[in-house]
Amino acid sequence: MVIEGASVTAIMVVAQFLEVGGDTLMKSATKDGMSIYIFIFYSNLLALCFLLPTTFFHHRKRPPPPIPTSIFFRIFLLSFLNCAVQILMNTGIGYSSPTLSSAMVDLVPAFTFILALISRMEILNMKKRSSQAKVIGTLVSIGGALTVTLYKGIPLISDAFRNIEMGASGNFLSVKQNWILGAFLLANASFFLSVLFITETWIINEYPEELVVTAICCSMVVILSAIVAFIKEGNSKVWILRHNKELVAVCFSGFFVVSMKSVVYKWTFRKKGPIYVAMFNPLRVVIALGLGVIFLGDNLYLGSMIGAFIIVIGFYAVMWAQAQEEHRARENNLFPSTTDSLLSIKSMDF
């Protein structure tokens, strides 16, 4: 069980690396003139071309169970949410940056935690240490993300001191109108992403066929994104992919972000639940900072290091709480309660 938990954690960390990489490539492609709506359509179309044969091959010997009508309508809702999140998220990145996107999605754990409590997917008992650690860890991770976003401090690694306009306190970057609009879109995308997490868990708990659900959802997103792209772009030349950068961005997003990451997320929803998945979002800030320093030559500031350390503490607290709850559940399964044992003995006597 420990090995399985470690493998799920490792897979989720890799998924965050892939998502940050996909955001960076998308930002680079759209900055050179590629339409965000065309990017979303081609990414999902390519993902569908990968998912369909994979699903048929996986179920070549064991056909999937029939899909109930209620599950099908939930998948349609999931597809609508998926399309909305992709449009809002990618448009927000286009107005701002992948780093701000990684920071704003740290609102997802808070949104998901509240929605999970409302939908009764998460039972909170503040008398238990695991519940206390989960709440505190979520708040600490969000605080760390806000520290990375709002506080810069002195540069620790810097090839050149760039001309950055600072606020009156010296700690806030001056923002432009596009940056504020991008943050607003990313905040809305984070809320819809939390709703999407809850909906995916709702579906996969009752119909545990990750590949089938992902393939159907992706096919619906292709149709929805095509309609949006035709409305926004029409029959213009933007439908033609012009250079290698656009092809690389679409291929990376289609194979790794849309298809593989979606399957991994649904599998993790079934294994661990929506809050566990949402808690990996704060790691994207740390990953984006690290990749920016290593590959893009970005400055590393004191505030980024402090915020990253706070995020790791909060993340560890939630992982510890999750492990405690799973350990308690295994103990309850292995050792039935004393009351149940006494009742079974009395029934045998009669």
pLDDT of residue 185: 86
Any long-range contacts for 79-82 (C-beta under 8 Å, 24+ apart)?
79/216, 79/217, 79/220, 79/221, 79/224, 80/220, 80/224, 81/192, 81/195, 81/196, 81/199, 82/196, 82/217, 82/221
Q: What is the mean pLDDT of residues 153-171?
A: 50
> Does the pLDDT of residue 79 top 90, yes or no?
yes
Residue 49 confidence (pLDDT) above 90: yes
Select the highest-mean-pLDDT range: 89-98, 253-262, 315-324: 253-262
Q: Which residues of 271-309 are buried (b: 16+ CB within 10 A; e: fewer)?
A: ebbbbbbbbbbbbbbbbbbbbbbeeeebbbbebbbebbe
Q: Which of 16-30, 37-51, 281-295 has the highest mean pLDDT?
A: 37-51
- Tell me how far apart the alpha carbons of residues 151 and 23 are, in angstroms, rounded to a whole number: 23
Using 50, 70 and 90 to split pLDDT, how confident is the model at 74? Answer: very high
pLDDT surpasses 60 at 342: no
More confident residue, 104 or 90: 90
Question: What gap in Å lies between CA 263 and CA 278, rounded to an integer?
Answer: 15
pLDDT of residue 120: 79
Average pLDDT over residues 66-92: 91
pLDDT reading at 339 higher than 60: no
> Residue 21: how many CA atoms within 13 Å on its side-chain side?
18
The whole-number pLDDT of residue 285 equals 72
Neighbours of 340 (CB within 10 A): 9
Q: Where is average pLDDT lowest: 109-113, 123-127, 334-338?
A: 334-338
Q: Lowest-confidence range among 42-56, 268-282, 305-319, 322-336?
A: 322-336
pLDDT at position 113: 80
Split at pLDDT 50, 70, 90, the class of 158 is: low
Taking only the tens place, the pLDDT of each residue in 290-335 is: 776 776 566 677 777 787 778 778 777 877 777 777 777 777 765 5
- Are 48 and 225 in contact, with CB atoms under 8 Å apart? no
CA distance 73 to 211: 17
Mean pLDDT of 80-109: 80
Q: What is the pLDDT of residues 132-157, one digit of tens each?
A: 887 888 788 778 767 766 776 777 66
Query: What's the whole-number average pLDDT of the chain?
Result: 78
The per-residue pLDDT for 216 is 93
The label of the residue with tokens 């639940």 reads 273
Question: Do residues 94 and 30 lie in contact, with contact meaning Cβ atoms separated by under 8 Å?
Answer: yes
Q: Kindly report, residue by residue over 176-224, the tens digit of the pLDDT.
A: 467 778 778 888 888 898 999 999 989 998 998 889 999 999 999 999 9
pLDDT at residue 221, rounded to an integer? 93
Q: What is the dihedral of CA 100, 105, 106, 111, to 10 degrees?
A: 150
Percent of the chain with pLDDT over 70: 81
Residue 181 burial (CB count, 10 A): 14
| Helix residue ranges, H only, the chain | 2-31, 36-58, 69-95, 98-104, 108-118, 129-150, 177-206, 210-233, 244-252, 261-272, 274-278, 283-295, 302-334, 338-349
